[in-house]
Chains A and B, each alone.
Chain A
Amino acid sequence: MRRVLLLAAGLFLVLALTLWAFGLPVAESLRHLWEGSLAGKFAIHRTLVKASPLILAGLGMVVAWRAGMFNIGGEGQLLVGVAAGASLYHAVPDLQGPALTVLVLAACILSGAAWAGIAAFLHTKRGVNVVISTILLNFVAIQLISYLVRGPLQPPGSSIPQTAPLPESAMFLRLDPQSSLHTGVLLLPVLAFLVHLWLKLTPSGFRLRLVGQNPLAARSARVPVARTQVVALLVSGGLCGLAGGVEYVGVSGYLFDGFSPGWGFFAIPVALLGGLEAWGVLLSGLYFGALLAGSRNLEAFGGAPSALVFAVQGVAVLAFVAFQQLANRRRERADT
């Protein structure tokens, strides 16, 4: 608990320092951020919606990284997920309502997993480094989306590079038409809880963490190392696919170039700041969701560049990792 409070204070400091470094009036900018993210019902709704893909993909990162599979391909898995969802709707345009929602989300999850599966296959069969394969698959996915929205998935007669919007009946429910909040947000605590339960309290979750900490010890204990790593990557890809799906079914309803502002990349620092814990991802995802929501307000009224969020995130993660190293070294010294 003390660590979480310290971390929150540290993040606030980092934010203020970054604003200052950008030459912005700190107090006024913080007010804009606050008003855009947490002041009032609509702002909080915005924060929750922005946090959704971050948290889901962040949970995906936790699963893979805990198994020692450094998945950097969340962005690609997320995009391919949405592409599969959009393709499904394109293939059966007559489908309506919750059935379509469920099918689209299933397509997102399965194809996100399949995209990660390519990296898993290359790793187990050919020994290809997961970091490299997942990074490269991102670029393939980004180009693939670019092609799809201008080609096969572009509605006939349309000149705008985007897919046909999902029918309103297939979108997540919105309780208030004024607000962007959708029922998909309910998935966040549920999935965070499930990931926590799996990793912390089940035998298979224990084996996954063991493989991540020392695959040789896992092998001695007759844990199927390769299979565990593959499962971790598939689940990770599936969660990233779902992250895209929730945005697709909850917010935009169609796929376009630049659909993701980099959620799949954002997810990595979200997971790291969350200490690779499911509940930590919930907190850090909300923080960055708030920052994303607030920064739009800051951009509109305070004249800040949108790159600010990226800068804050970068500085925050670097500071966090540096402090962690420092704490580790101090602990080591105390032990010897």
Chain B
Amino acid sequence: MGENGAGKSTLANILSGSLAPTSGELILNGEAIRFSSTAEARDYGIDIVHQHFMLVPAFTVRENLLLFGADLNKARDLPLDAVVGELSVGEQQRVEIARALGSGGALVLFDEPTAVLTLEESDALLERLRQLRAEGRAVVLITHRVEEALAVADRITVLRAGEVVGSYGAGEATAEELERQIAGGQFDRPTRSSESGVAEDRLIVEDLFVLADRGHLAVNGVSFHVRAGEVLGIGGVDGNGQVELAEALVGIRPVESGSIRRSGRVAYIPPDRNRDGLALTMSVLDNLLIAGHRKPALRRAGLLLPWLARLWAEGIVRRFSVRPPYLDRPVVTLSGGNRQKVVVGRELDETPDVLIAVYPTRGLDVRSQADVHRSILDARAAGCAVVVVSADWDELNAISDRVFVLSRGQWREER
């Protein structure tokens, strides 16, 4: 366990052979080993399930599994003939796991596998980990979720800034103790203030039908409204029309029938910061300008002036504490949490009238999660109408005024 940037992924990369250690040695079964490629690591029986999927998007599930020598018999429950790039993130994750598990190595490493899964899917995964343990395989699980580690691990090690700061046996640590170790001290969890009273409807959706990319109906007759100063949470198993609904609300996916009425400026935190939130090769400044280039305040005579843009961007980097605070670095050099701060900062710099946030804290550590939640709740307090899509029930409960579940594109109220 550890924060974003604590060195967990670096460690995983060393174990899987994609990064060489500067010094020190690896001992596997009493034997000092050295390898210089992922193929060699696999030969030693080390399998890794990566945080970023190692799949070929243009291939089908079957082709991907065969490519990595996985056992197709163990993947019967997957849509073998579907093209991986067209699957939802959660489904892709399941393919990624099947890919890595299939070859049957002695050590399996999971790099934050549950970050994109729903609670139900996560439980199934943890069950799978216990099975692997029973089969006699060693399992290393990297996770942000304290409760997962407590539920499944025999030993828990906490990393901070690249060093081991604590190690516990099963039953030795409490959730509070772990959270404090991870964050390196106390920090405040944001809390939702009480209802902000009667306010106007900012987003009115009536009898909405939306198609998915593959042409099937993803949103199937949904109606709701969101008031100013209210957070509407949308949960449910990934791939049940949440992303399509959000995209329709933002206005980047055509509406099949029904109506959406929005008032004012709509801000958008897209589902996958690396895929559709950021241009990874561009600088931090340019990625902030993805929202900022529309601001009249940054223009003179129609020209986007660099010094005005920099001044504005520096303000965001400071207020949302993006680290390192360098505007000219490619955004790809930032950690996941800081990349998300770039997205959140540029969208919430001025309070929007409507905010659509999809998986806003996916893959973030507890502190970064709290930062994002605080920003969303600040927007709510300032009168923004917010829709949050998440697969994480704790998140939905913590920040939403109302929660709905989308199941096969249909609506169910939870609370």
A residues near B (Cβ < 8 Å) are 197, 201-203, 206-207, 209-210, 213-214, 216-222, 335-336
Contact = CB atoms under 8 A, between A and B. Distances in A.
Interface stretch (B129-137, B225-233, B234-242, B278-286): B278-286
Contacts of B119: none
B289 interface: yes
B306 to A, nearest CB: 8
Given A216-B275, A216-B276, A222-B251, A203 B290 contact: no
A214 B291 contact: no
Contacts of A214: 276, 278-282
B276 A213 contact: no
B268 A220 contact: yes
Contact of A202 (B275, B294, B304): B304
Nearest to A205: B304
A219 B252 CA distance: 7
B250 interface: yes
A213 B282 contact: yes
Contacts of B281: 213-214
Contacts of A197: 303
B279 A222 contact: no
Contacts of B293: 203, 206-207
Contacts of A203: 293-294, 299, 302, 304
B333 interface: yes
16 contacts: A197-B303, A203-B294, A206-B289, A207-B293, A210-B282, A210-B290, A214-B281, A216-B275, A217-B277, A217-B278, A217-B279, A217-B290, A221-B290, A221-B291, A222-B268, A335-B333
Contacts of A221: 268, 290-291
Per CB-CB distance, the 8 closest pairs between chain A and chain B, nearest first, are A213-B279, A216-B276, A214-B279, A220-B270, A201-B303, A206-B293, A221-B290, A203-B293
A206 B304 contact: yes
A220 B305 contact: no
Nearest to B276: A216
A335 B305 CA distance: 29
A220 B286 CA distance: 15
B277 A222 contact: no
B303 A202 contact: yes
Given A206-B289, A335-B333, A220 B299 contact: no
Nearest to A207: B293
Interface in B275-333: 275-282, 286, 289-291, 293-294, 299, 302-306, 333
Contacts of B303: 197, 201-202
A217 B291 CA distance: 11
Contact of A220 (B276, B294, B302, B306): B276
